[in-house]
Amino acid sequence: LPGPTSTQMSFALGITQQGTLGGLISGLLFMLPGAVLMTTLGVGTAEALKRGLLDHGTWTAATAAGLSSVGVALIGNAALSLGSKICGTVRLQMAICAASAALTLLPSKPVPWLFPVLLVSGGVVSAVDKTVRMSARSDAVAQEDRDAQPSIDRSSIKFGLRAWQGACVVGIWACMLLGFSVFALSTPTSTQPQLHWFYTFFYTGSLVYGGGPVVLPVLQTIICDRNHWIRDAQFLAALGLAQAMPGPMFNLSPFLGAVIAQSAGTNVYVGALLCWLGLFAPGVMMIFGVLPLWRGLRNNRIYQRAVPGVSASAVGLIFASIFSLHASLQASSPFPSASDAIAVTGFALIRVGNVPAPLSVLCGGVLGVLAWACGIEQ
């Protein structure tokens, strides 16, 4: 599904245990702490921007660059962990992962529609491979299919809405996406800018598959390169801070919304709320809409055989995002070489030293200040 994987899991866990209300409570409890913190940081950053405290050459800009460096390193660590977990030593899944990453990086800018295409393609390759092997070794592959299904007592599992209600939720999502797309294409961004902000985040959350890391290059391209609402350095600072906060990575959206609103001279809290709702809404709507259909989907053999390929392709998208984010980091950092060094240090702290992510990000900020104090520049 499109949207933030961890957030959808938090809603799904609540739904399966206590129904729709349980899903709403568990999901919001997972999202809100980080959202409040990131909104507060976004408002503070907007005020700092107004006063010129984050201008190029200041120690605060150097701190933001250090935070960004470790933020990119955290994406790399996540990609490696998922890659070893999902692909392992299975050559086909490793090949799908590599092909997905390479094809994602082929265009000069991220192409949102390419992501679902690659996920479906990975699933098709995996399903065809297992079907061919089944024809050659029917007994072994049939047993493999049975082993892929965990033993679950479904008697106590709830699926929230009824199937027709879930289909209605998916229909509402599709209508919102179509309606806002028509509005955005037919009006300039200067007309109702708040709605354009909401649409941008809603559109990105609707068409980006593979979780938080995958959404970053697409969102950055739209709000920084295409619309010039904020600078790359501000976006990357949001990435670093979001990694240090509790909750999902999508919680960088209220930070970005506050900074965008400040640049436009409008209410920063309204901007934060609109961007937060826009990015999260598609994934949340989809989990409530699709979960009632999950029982039938899960028992579909074609789906079961496609899942390994889809998962491997999603990992490839995350690997591709590392390259895109690193290129942006190099372009916006006041000290590109030092940023690479900080990123490697942060990666080592996380991967080798098992240092918690928030502390690693804080170390990145400190190293950024040290690089500034030593006069290291481009």
Tell me, what's the pLDDT at 280?
A: 92
pLDDT tens track for 28-83: 999 999 899 999 988 888 777 777 666 677 788 888 888 888 888 888 888 888 78
97 versus 28: the higher-pLDDT residue is 28
Tell me, what's the pLDDT at 243?
A: 77
pLDDT tens track for 119-166: 888 889 888 888 888 777 655 555 555 555 555 555 556 788 888 888
Phi, psi of 157 (to 5 degrees): -80, 135
pLDDT tens track for 334-365: 888 888 999 999 999 988 888 888 899 889 98
Tell me the C-alpha distance between 273 and 174, whole Å: 21
Q: Which of 318, 117, 289 is nearest to 218 (CA)?
A: 318
Tell me the C-alpha distance between 9 and 28, whole Å: 12
